[in-house]
Amino acid sequence: MHRRASGDLPPVAAGTRPPADDDRRLALALRDGRPEAFEPFAERFGPLILNFGRRMCGHRDDAEEVMQETLLKAFLSLKDLRDPSALRAWVYRVAANACMKMRRRGRHQPMERPLSLDELVPQPSGDGAPPQIADWSNLPLDRLLRGELSAALEQAILALPKEFRVILVLRDQEGLSTREAADVLGISATLVKVRLHRARLALRRSLDAYLAGRPGGAARRRRAGR
Amino acid sequence: MSRGSRVGTGAGARRGAAGADGHRHGPGARRCGEMVEYLSDYLDGDLDAALRRTIDEHGGQCPPCRAFIRTLRATVEAVRSLPRRRLGRGAVRSLVVALRKASGGRL
């Protein structure tokens, strides 16, 4: 995993986005009611929605249900899509609604609680000394992610309140821009940024709890807080 | 999108990577609490140059904030590195057949 001391993050690795023109052509074919367009539509968006559903619902069966419902519903309601180049956002909107409905049915639903900033950032000790912050960023996270860390991180994502989780998944896994995520969810770009930031802080805290006790993590905690 | 120096994704966050209101960890450092709300914009390249430089300089002087920024970056990179499930061509075909059946002839 490439890591830098500062500067911009690289683009989302999942970068499976086809050219916008392809989406537009496909949307026009679908809107014209050409049944043969459904298969390329399912090929392009099925895997995306399956991953999105899995991150949102946490269960393969639910993710498959979301995928099927989304593909069918999106296809059958495409006549309502005004801007053919917005096909991708349209499909994610249908998928997000399907996920929210599924969660309302009460499956795989963790306790929902707000993300308090006081809990998400380390606080100084009572005597005003700076907090101890472990720097585990140099641990081989890419190797650890091939093992149990991957499951721990997936659980941490599932434990996020849904309105934060959906933004984290859209932005940091599906690679949507802030504007696109805002359009999908019908909220402001500012709110997308606020919730994304808190979601990231919550996951950092989860990884910190998981990694700081490892060789390297605890030692670096002492040094960083000196 | 470039963000000015008055708006941060913490939207009113008052406590920083280093936590305390007004706490300064490094010599001459800005308040650590002012840093944390800008960090996602910082990582996403959405900050203007002046604020970005301020955070770079602060991180250079403040070990706790530097550790916080690095681990936040590593967190986002880890999320982005999680494996994605693939759907084989055969699975897509089966899906299409099933959905055509379920649509009652509308596909």
Distance CA A73, CA A80 (A): 11
Rounded to the nearest angstrom, the minimum Cα separation between B28 and chain A is: 15
Stretch A48-66: mean pLDDT, rounded? 90
B32 contacts on A by Cβ (under 8 Å): 130
Report which of A179, A84, A106, A50 is spatially closest to residue B84, judged by C-alpha positions.
A50
| A29-43, A89-103, A107-121, A200-214, range with the lowest pLDDT | A107-121
Q: Which residue has the higher pLDDT, A205 or B26?
A: A205
B107 inside 8 A of chain A by CB: yes
A145 inside 8 A of chain B by CB: yes
Write down which residue in A45, A79, A104 finishes a domain.
Answer: A104
DSSP per-residue codes, A45-79 = HHHHHHHHHHHHH--HHHHHHHHHHHHHHHHHTGG
A172 inside 8 A of chain B by CB: yes
Among the partner-chain residues B10, B78, B87, the one whose CB lies closest to the CB of A117 is B10
B9 contacts on A by Cβ (under 8 Å): 193-194, 196-197
| A2-16, A38-52, B39-53, B90-104, range with the lowest pLDDT | A2-16
A131 and A179 housed in the same domain: yes
Give the pLDDT score at A215.
62
Place A142 in a pLDDT band, splitting at 50, 70 and 90.
confident
Among the partner-chain residues A47, A137, A173, the one whose CB lies closest to the CB of B70 is A137
Stretch B10-37: mean pLDDT, rounded? 52
Stretch B95-100: mean pLDDT, rounded? 80
A122 and A220 housed in the same domain: yes
Residue B56 token pair: 């770079």
Q: Which residue has the higher pLDDT, A125 or A81?
A: A81
Stretch A130-157: mean pLDDT, rounded? 87
Write down which residue in A104, A131, A156 finishes a domain.
Answer: A104
Mean residue pLDDT of chain B comes to 73
- How far, rounded to the nearest angstrom, does the alpha carbon of residue A190 sit from its chain's CA centroid? 17
Is the predicted pLDDT of residue B17 greater than 60, yes or no? no
Q: Do A42 and B74 touch (CB under 8 A)?
A: no
For the segment A160-177, what is each residue's pLDDT rounded down to a tens digit?
998 999 999 999 999 999
Among the partner-chain residues B18, B81, B98, the one whose CB lies closest to the CB of A124 is B18
A196 and A134 housed in the same domain: yes
A40 and A128 housed in the same domain: no
A206 and A128 housed in the same domain: yes
User: pLDDT above 70 covers what percent of chain B?
Assistant: 69
Stretch A177-198: mean pLDDT, rounded? 95
A88 and A124 housed in the same domain: no
A124 and A156 housed in the same domain: yes
Decide: residue A8, CB within 10 A, 0-12 exposed, 13-18 middle, 19+ buried: middle
Stretch A129-137: mean pLDDT, rounded? 84
Residue A220 is part of which domain span? 117-224
Q: Name the closest residue on chain A to residue B85, using Cα atoms.
A: A51
Give the pLDDT score at B23.
53
Place B34 in a pLDDT band, splitting at 50, 70 and 90.
confident
- Structurally, how many domains does chain A consist of? 2
B72 contacts on A by Cβ (under 8 Å): 200-201, 204
Decide: residue A128, CB within 10 A, 0-12 exposed, 13-18 middle, 19+ buried: exposed
Give the pLDDT score at B7.
32
A219 and A123 housed in the same domain: yes
Residue A13 placed within a domain: no
B48 contacts on A by Cβ (under 8 Å): none
Give the pLDDT score at A19.
63
Residue A83 placed within a domain: yes
A99 and A158 housed in the same domain: no
Is the predicted pLDDT of residue A225 greater than 50, yes or no? no
Distance CA A43, CA B66 (A): 43
With tokens 């392009």, the residue in question is A44
Distance CA A136, CA A214 (A): 9
Residue A182 placed within a domain: yes
A66 and A91 housed in the same domain: yes
A111 inside 8 A of chain B by CB: no
Asked whether the beta carbons of A169 and A153 are under 8 A apart, the reply is: no
A99 and A121 housed in the same domain: no
Residue A215 placed within a domain: yes
Place A60 in a pLDDT band, splitting at 50, 70 and 90.
confident
A126 and A87 housed in the same domain: no
A148: CATH: 1.10.10.10
Distance CA A92, CA B69 (A): 31
Write down which residue in A82, A104, A126 finishes a domain.
Answer: A104
A84: CATH: 1.10.1740.10
Residue A204 placed within a domain: yes
